Structure 1
Amino acid sequence: MLFEKPKHHHHHRVSEFQAVVLAGYGSSNRLYPISEEDSMPKALLPVGNKPVISYTLDWLEKAGIHDIIVVIQAIGSSPQKLSTYLKNYPGNVHCQVVSVDEDDETADALRAIKDKIDRDFLVVPCDLVTELDPRDLLDAHRVYDPTFSALFYEPGLSESASKDDDLLPYVGIDSTRNALVYKALRSEADDFSMRMSLLNKFSRVRVHTDLQDAHLYIFKRWIIDMLVDKEKITSISKDLIPMLIKCQYQKKLVKREEIEKYSSTYENLLANALSLSTTQSADIGDESFTDDPIHLSFKSPIKSYVHVYRGGFCGRGNTTASYNELNRNATKQGTSITRVPSSAEVAPRTQVGNDSIIGESTKIDERSSVKKSCVGSYCVIGKNVKIINSVIMDHVVIGDNVKIEGCIICKNAHIHEKASLKDCDVVYGYIVQKDSVLKGEKLVDFREAI
Structure 2
Amino acid sequence: MLFEKPKHHHHHRVSEFQAVVLAGYGSSNRLYPISEEDNMPKALLPVGNKPVISYTLEWLEKAGIHDIIVVIQAIGSAPQKLSAYLRTYTGNVHCQVVSVDEDDETADALRAIKDKIDVNRDIWMLNELMPCDLITELNPRDFFDAHRVCDPTFSALFYEPGSTESASKDDDLLPYVGIDSTRNALVYKALRSEDEDFSMRMSLLNKFPRVRVHTDLQDAHLYIFKRWVIDMLVEKENITSISKDLIPMLVKCQYQKKLVEREQIEKYSSTYENLLANALSLSTTQSADIDDELFMDDPVHSSFKSPIKTYVHVYRGGFCGRGNTTASYNELNRYTTKQGASITRVPSSAEVAPRTQVGNDSIIGDYTKIDERSSVKKSCVGAHCVIGKNVKIANSVIMDHVVIGDNVKIEGCIICNNAKIHEKASMKDCDVAGGYIVDKDSQLKGEKLVAFREAI
Structure 2 residue 236 is matched with structure 1 residue 210: no
For 1:50, the equivalent position in structure 2 comes to: 50
Structure 2 residue 122 is matched with structure 1 residue 128: no
Change (3 A) 1:317 1:33: same
Greater CA deviation, 138-147 or 107-116?
Answer: 107-116
For 1:349, the equivalent position in structure 2 comes to: 355
For 2:5, the equivalent position in structure 1 comes to: none
For 2:225, the equivalent position in structure 1 comes to: 219
For 1:91, the equivalent position in structure 2 comes to: 91
Other structure's SS at 2:290 match: coil
Kindly state the Cα deviation for residue 445 of structure 1 after the two structures are TM-superposed: 1.3
Q: Report if aligned partners of 2:206, 2:300 keep a CA contact under 8 Å in 1.
A: no
For 1:180, the equivalent position in structure 2 comes to: 186
Kindly state the Cα deviation for residue 280 of structure 1 after the two structures are TM-superposed: 2.7
Q: Report if aligned partners of 1:274, 1:282 keep a CA contact under 8 Å in 2.
A: no
For 1:5, the equivalent position in structure 2 comes to: none
Structure 2 residue 112 is matched with structure 1 residue 112: yes
For 2:3, the equivalent position in structure 1 comes to: none
Greater CA deviation, 381-390 or 109-118?
Answer: 109-118
1: CA distance, partners of 2:333 / 2:303: 48
Other structure's SS at 1:99 match: strand
2: CA distance, partners of 1:291 / 1:301: 11
2: CA distance, partners of 1:33 / 1:211: 28
For 1:3, the equivalent position in structure 2 comes to: none
2: CA distance, partners of 1:371 / 1:431: 23
Other structure's SS at 1:266 match: helix
For 1:241, the equivalent position in structure 2 comes to: 247
- The TM-score with structure 1 as length reference comes to 0.94
1: CA distance, partners of 2:14 / 2:294: 33
Kindly state the Cα deviation for residue 57 of structure 1 after the two structures are TM-superposed: 0.4
The size of the alignment, in residue pairs, is: 436
- The TM-score with structure 2 as length reference comes to 0.93
Kindly state the Cα deviation for residue 292 of structure 1 after the two structures are TM-superposed: 6.0
Q: Report if aligned partners of 1:147, 1:220 keep a CA contact under 8 Å in 2.
A: yes
Q: Cα RMSD over matched residues? A: 1.7
Q: Report if aligned partners of 2:298, 2:305 keep a CA contact under 8 Å in 1.
A: no
For 1:27, the equivalent position in structure 2 comes to: 27
Change (3 A) 1:15 1:69: farther
The one-letter amino acid paired with 2:45 is L
Q: Which runs of 5+ in 2 are unaligned?
A: 1-12, 119-124
Alignment of 1:351-390 (within 5 A): 351-390=357-396
- The one of 131, 138, 144 aligned to 2:144: 138
Other structure's SS at 1:152 match: strand
Change (3 A) 1:288 1:264: closer
Change (3 A) 1:430 1:268: farther
1: CA distance, partners of 2:233 / 2:337: 41
Q: Report if aligned partners of 1:16, 1:120 keep a CA contact under 8 Å in 2.
A: no
Q: Report if aligned partners of 1:251, 1:300 keep a CA contact under 8 Å in 2.
A: yes
For 2:80, the equivalent position in structure 1 comes to: 80
For 1:329, the equivalent position in structure 2 comes to: 335
Q: Report if aligned partners of 2:255, 2:298 keep a CA contact under 8 Å in 1.
A: no
1: CA distance, partners of 2:329 / 2:418: 19
Q: Deviations over 1:31-88 (max 9, x none)?
A: 0000001110000000000000000000000111111000000000000000000111
Change (3 A) 1:332 1:285: farther
Q: Report if aligned partners of 1:275, 1:282 keep a CA contact under 8 Å in 2.
A: no
The one-letter amino acid paired with 1:317 is G
2: CA distance, partners of 1:213 / 1:26: 14
Other structure's SS at 2:187 match: strand
The one-letter amino acid paired with 1:423 is D
1: CA distance, partners of 2:389 / 2:347: 20
Q: Deviations over 1:310-343 (max 9, x none)?
A: 0000000000000000000000111111111111
Q: Report if aligned partners of 1:15, 1:64 keep a CA contact under 8 Å in 2.
A: no
The one-letter amino acid paired with 2:434 is Y
Structure 2 residue 207 is matched with structure 1 residue 198: no
Q: Report if aligned partners of 2:364, 2:382 keep a CA contact under 8 Å in 1.
A: yes
Q: Report if aligned partners of 2:296, 2:306 keep a CA contact under 8 Å in 1.
A: no
Q: Which runs of 5+ in 1 are unaligned?
A: 1-12
- The one of 143, 155, 158 aligned to 1:149: 155
Change (3 A) 1:310 1:270: farther
The one-letter amino acid paired with 1:354 is N
2: CA distance, partners of 1:53 / 1:288: 36
